[in-house]
Amino acid sequence: MSTPIEGFFDGLSGEYAGAIERCFPRYREMLWAVLEYLPDNLPVRSILDLGCGTGNLSVLMAERYPEASLTVVDLSAESLEVCRRRVAPLTTLQVCEADFRALDYAPGAFDLIVSSIAVHHLELLEKRQLFQQIFGWLSPGGVFTFADQFRGVTRELYARHIENWHKLTQAAGSSEADWEMWMQHQRDHDHHDTLPEQIDLLRESGFDAVDCVWRYLLWGVVTATKAGSG
């Protein structure tokens, strides 16, 4: 039996690309930032994509690192099937239908871990646990980069972010029904924490060189590096 969040994304999977771009017209720019700020000299043999959805970021990873193995994780079986069809021709692919909180990988299993608009489904203490696990799953010198939604540091800033986001969706042609669908999902399932809180959690987990490399309204791209063994 599917969970409410799994069912929500199963219902969207066939039209996810269009829905996300109506919801956030700078989505492609955000994914560009994920790729743009990956180190040029990063040796990547294995990649983990947490919350892969229908594979938008997974495809970019497979194209950037065609020789690397790619593991994709998501709660939605329908989204995973779309992702599998898109990505399997491009690289060695492993598909995992699971909740982040149930994952268990060997230390140093991945050189690069990425995520797009997924970590915010976890509460703050769960984010701390996930960041600690990610640190362990990365090889020395490995990188964790994620794009997500972040609460403003004050109630007023957060409200202004939401207000401007609403205007942005309207300008992109999104209907009020679309907007209310996303807002209901946000009320039911999302846990927006501030960018400074999450940067602090990453540093506490052991990461070096933690930074926000791109930001617009609620959305941001954060990168964090695990120190090398040398």
Residue 70 φ then ψ, to 5°: -125, 125
Going by C-alpha positions, the residue among 96, 13, 106 that lies closest to residue 54 is: 13
- pLDDT at 17 (0 to 100): 58
pTM: 0.89
- pLDDT at 176 (0 to 100): 87
Q: Is residue 115 part of a domain?
A: yes
- pLDDT at 230 (0 to 100): 55
Q: What is the pLDDT along the chain (230 residues), one digit of tens a residue?
A: 444 444 433 433 445 556 677 778 788 999 999 999 999 999 999 999 999 999 999 999 999 999 999 999 999 999 999 999 999 999 999 999 999 889 999 999 999 999 999 999 999 999 999 999 999 999 999 999 999 999 999 999 999 999 999 998 888 888 888 888 878 877 877 899 999 999 999 999 999 999 999 999 999 999 999 998 65
- pLDDT at 4 (0 to 100): 46
Q: Is residue 230 part of a domain?
A: no
CA distance 109 to 107: 6
Q: Is residue 85 part of a domain?
A: yes
In the chain, the number of structural domains is: 1
- pLDDT at 18 (0 to 100): 65
Q: Which domain holds residue 173?
A: 4-225
Q: Is residue 135 part of a domain?
A: yes
| Exposure class string for 114-124: b at 16+ Cβ within 10 A, else e | bbbbbbbbbee
CA distance 43 to 179: 41
CATH no. for residue 187? 3.40.50.150
Going by C-alpha positions, the residue among 113, 140, 136, 147 that lies closest to residue 34 is: 147
Q: Is residue 61 part of a domain?
A: yes
Q: Is residue 131 part of a domain?
A: yes
8 Å CB contact between 195 and 219:
no
CA distance 192 to 198: 10
Residue 93 φ then ψ, to 5°: -125, 135
CA distance 185 to 171: 21
